Amino acid sequence: MDVTALVLVIIGALNWGSIGIFGVDALGTLLGGQLSVLSRVVYTVVALAGIWCITLLFRDRETTVGHRV
């Protein structure tokens, strides 16, 4: 779940980067516009992944890596 959430957050960050640098919403363009149902579902999933990633800040670092030393 952590890896999936991180991948989605990276996708969201790259999309925000494309908006900031080029003025183009890459996800919206690929998925039929910002207000299409598919785009809104993807935006929501990316947002939920971001919320999930907040938990990574509060976890024991050794368990986040996946093993204890």
Angle, helices 2-22 vs 37-57, to 10°: value is: 120
Q: What's the pLDDT at 63?
A: 57
Per-residue confidence band for 60, with pLDDT thresholds at 50, 70 and 90: confident
Give 67's pLDDT tier (boundaries 50, 70, 90): low
Domain ranges of the chain: 2-65
Q: Smallest Cα–Cα separation from 26: which of 5, 42, 3, 6?
A: 42
pLDDT at 51: 95
pLDDT digits (tens, 9 = 90+) for 14-57: 999 999 999 999 999 999 888 999 999 999 999 999 999 999 98
pLDDT for 69 beyond 50: no
